[in-house]
Amino acid sequence: MTAERKSDTRQELLEAAATLISEAPGQDVPLRAICDRVGVKLPTLYHFFGSKDGLLAAVIEYGFASYLDLKQATEPTGDPIEDIRRGWDAHVRFGLDNAGFYALMYGQVTPQRRPDAAAAPYAALLRLCQEAEAQGRLAVPAAAAADHVLATNVGVTLFLITAEAPDLALAHQVRDATVAAITGLPGRPPGAADGAALAQQLLHSLAGAEDTLGEAETALLRTWLGRLAAATGSV
């Protein structure tokens, strides 16, 4: 068997496992069913993955890679808070569409250990939070904001997966509450003496402003408002 054929067979087994697991959330998928889907024998599966645990680890990695592809396919808006909101929605949608291996990715946990494949999606979220922090738009440090978003995003997605009928309105409410918590806007009503809160609100209102003001003008306005928010103590 050529190296290319070996690679193809491994990928076919991985995709078959991911498909069968996704089609039967929470159920045990027999290894023989995976092999039958590809047209190979059990020793071939063991050759590539070593054991059932090895196969599941590969499926988890495959799931995170698919999730990252979905997130990267979404064009950034230029507004980190709006991109966090969109990323939240994409996360929920991915979980509901791929309940079987989402449960493997986030539902089957080992204490004090996260899958290595989870690092890339988390890093993308952290970068958005760091960008928002640099603009003076966070009420907490960027790392704390990223943890807050991830924890609530995973929690609500698992809750919706187990619900009889997923309530997307609930997902949106939790999303908005989470964004409010990391930005600190609800407890900071704007007023004449509160330049930081006003600057924050104006920053949040700039989502989609490029179409009206132009990209360069909107970017400059974000810079000015970010500096004002940081200088007047919004974080």
Domains along the chain with CATH numbers: 1-50 (1.10.10), 51-231 (1.10.357.10)
Burial 74-97, CB ≥16 within 10 A → b, else e:
eeebbbbbbbbbbbbebbbebbbe
Tokens found for residue 196: 């930081």
Burial 197-216, CB ≥16 within 10 A → b, else e:
bbbbbbbbebbebbeeeeee
Average of pLDDT values for 158-163?
A: 86
Contact of 101 with 21, CB cutoff 8 Å: yes
How many angstroms from the chain centroid is the CA of residue 95?
Answer: 10
Q: Is the pTM of this model over 0.85?
A: no
Is pLDDT larger for residue 223 or for residue 120? Answer: 120
pLDDT tens digits along 101-120 = 788 777 766 676 777 778 88
Q: How confident is the model at residue 235 (pLDDT cuts 50, 70, 90)?
A: very low
Alpha-carbon dihedral 201, 185, 160, 145, rounded to 10 degrees: 100
Average of pLDDT values for 35-54?
A: 91
Is pLDDT larger for residue 27 or for residue 220? Answer: 27
pLDDT in the model for residue 143 = 95
- 3-state SS, one letter per residue, for 171-230: HHHHHHHHHHHHHCCCCCCCCCCCHHHHHHHHHHCCCCCHHHHCHHHHHHHHHHHHHHHH
CA atoms of 81 and 129, how far apart (whole Å): 8
Candidates 37, 36, 170, 28; CA nearest to 103 is: 28
Across 1-10, 147-156, 192-201, least confident range: 192-201
Candidates 105, 24, 113, 110; CA nearest to 70 is: 105
Is pLDDT larger for residue 187 or for residue 159? Answer: 159
